Amino acid sequence: MTDLYLKQIAVGPMANFAYLIGSQRTRECFVVDPAWDVVALQRAAAEANMKIVGALLSHYHPDHCGGHLFGHDIQGVAELIRAADIPIYAHKDEVHGVQTVTGLPRAAIKACDSGDKLSLGDIEITLIHTPGHTPGSQCFLCEERLISGDTLFLSGCGRVDLPGGDSDQLYDSLANKLAKLPPSTIIYPGHHYDAEDHATLAEIKQVNPFLQANSPAAWKRLFNHA
């Protein structure tokens, strides 16, 4: 029996997903992309008898980590660490962005790199750098389950027309990193943009045109007409 604990939680008015991922044996978990309703995320962990011991950020956009967006102040990691002194993990290329939007001090953020691993109990989470949507976007892989943030959705992918977006980088992240994971890998996206809330990579490849493009040029043409 696996030690993995994984819970998907819908949060906020932008169809975001946050996640709790951790160890059933130690009852410790990380919260992935805590935003919008920190109290609800803390309550979900408490109801499952899980202790939040850190936060993993897929990228620095306020709907995933808190901050100011479209005239609104969004709860996030700043509120989370007021309740508990826990580390915030962000890719090294995303640290400045996280500081800017959340106001966190640099000391509160643990800079990560692709391939870094975090462990709780018997589970190990591998961090995969997937730039393109933002320079430091990252995904979290554990036991053939991938929390993909805004890099990959079930039928689409993250936009590249925001500051720091790069279509060449996103193509590389999708074609040369995520698409090469085992077909049985279950993808858990950062937003509920589709009828389903998760799917296997094999299933996504059947419906997601951004994983079907066979060259950077074809991918760019598809993206420009999306």
pTM attached to this predicted model: 0.95
Q: Count how many residues are written for the chain.
A: 226
For residue 223, what pLDDT band results from cuts at 50, 70 and 90?
low
* Dihedrals phi, psi of 201, to nearest 5 degrees: -60, -40
Q: Of 61-65, 163-167, 220-224, where does the model show the most confidence?
A: 61-65
- The dihedrals phi and psi of 8, each to the nearest 5 degrees, come to -100, 130
Residue 173 neighbours by CB distance under 10 Å = 25
DSSP of 22-91:
EETTTTEEEEES--S-HHHHHHHHHHTT-EEEEEE-S---HHHH-EEETTEEE--HHHHHHHS---EEEE
Q: What is the pLDDT of residues 31-87, one digit of tens each?
A: 999 999 999 999 999 999 999 999 999 999 999 999 987 777 899 999 999 988 899
pLDDT grade for 224, boundaries at 50, 70 and 90 = low
Domain boundaries, the chain: 4-224
Could you give the dihedral angle defined by the CA atoms of residues 210, 20, 117 and 33, in that order, rounded to the nearest 10 degrees? 60
Residue 225 scores a pLDDT above 60: no
Q: Give me the amino acid identity at 129.
A: H
User: 4-224 has which fold?
Assistant: Metallo-beta-lactamase; Chain A (3.60.15)
Is the separation of the CB atoms in 55 and 94 below 8 Å?
no
Tens of pLDDT, residues 83-129: 888 999 999 999 999 999 999 999 999 999 999 999 999 999 999 99
Quote the tokens at residue 189: 């996206």
